[in-house]
């Protein structure tokens, strides 16, 4: 069974929208290594249409320019890229295709195919749906020490709780927290009476 990993830049107040407008001051070699750990280990990348359009509008040109990031751009071009969209798409970036059929059914089938890891970068709506369906194996959050205060949050309101367990954590020199989560069993039920047994008792 192939592993699906999602990586997201996220602010302290949960914003994941337009990270290009607030996260670059925190990008260093530590964050670069974390991003590569998510994307570099995958031979397939799953995109929502908006995120794909952003990548396709930038990385092919960077590969052609041959600059410092050309190697990473080539790696992105070489992997299989699958785009989730309700409308029929046409592609100019190599190795790109559209996901066919229902998202949950199609991704479940994709996980059963032979191959390496599957990665998501951004694509919040897709991440939400795969988390809710129990198809996401790891959620990599790069939590930035900034409150953006506007924009789409990772988790919206009105949905059932999604329990997670922390696999690993790392603090970068910039103050960014690199947190890796996996799905967890239900946390069960508890009340204040259960919790207060852990409080320090007065003399």
Q: What is the Cα–Cα distance from 106 to 111, expressed in whole angstroms?
A: 9
- Quick: pLDDT tens for 93-112: 999 999 999 999 999 999 99
Give the global pTM. 0.92
Residues lower than pLDDT 50 in the chain = none
Q: What is the dihedral of CA 174, 47, 58, 90, to 10 degrees?
A: -170
Strand bridging mode 164-171 / 96-98: unpaired
Q: Which residues contact 87 (CB under 8 A, 6 or more apart)?
A: 49
**Please, what are the domains in the chain?**
4-176 (3.40.430.10)
Q: What is the pLDDT of residues 130-157, one digit of tens each?
A: 999 999 999 999 999 999 999 999 998 8
**DSSP bridge pairs for 98:** 83
């Amino acid at each position: 069974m192939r592993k699906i990993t999602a990586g997201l830049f996220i602010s302290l107040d949960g914003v994941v929208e337009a990270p290009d407008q607030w996260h670059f001051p925190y990008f260093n070699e530590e964050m670069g290594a974390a991003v590569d750990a998510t994307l570099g280990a995958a031979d397939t990348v799953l995109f929502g249409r908006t995120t794909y359009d952003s990548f396709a509008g930038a990385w092919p040109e960077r590969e052609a320019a041959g600059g410092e990031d050309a190697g990473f751009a080539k790696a992105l071009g070489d992997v299989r890229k699958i785009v989730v969209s309700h409308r029929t798409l046409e592609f100019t970036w190599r190795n790109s295709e559209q996901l066919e059929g229902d998202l949950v059914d199609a991704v479940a089938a994709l996980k059963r195919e032979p191959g390496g890891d599957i990665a998501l970068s951004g694509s919040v709506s897709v991440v939400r749906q795969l988390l809710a369906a129990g198809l996401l194996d790891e959620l990599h959050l790069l939590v930035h020490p900034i409150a953006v205060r506007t924009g789409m949050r990772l988790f919206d309101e009105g949905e059932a709780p999604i329990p997670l367990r922390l696999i690993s954590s790392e603090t970068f020199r910039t103050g960014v927290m690199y947190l890796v989560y996996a799905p967890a069993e239900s946390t069960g039920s508890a009340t204040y009476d259960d919790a207060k047994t852990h409080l320090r008792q007065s003399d």
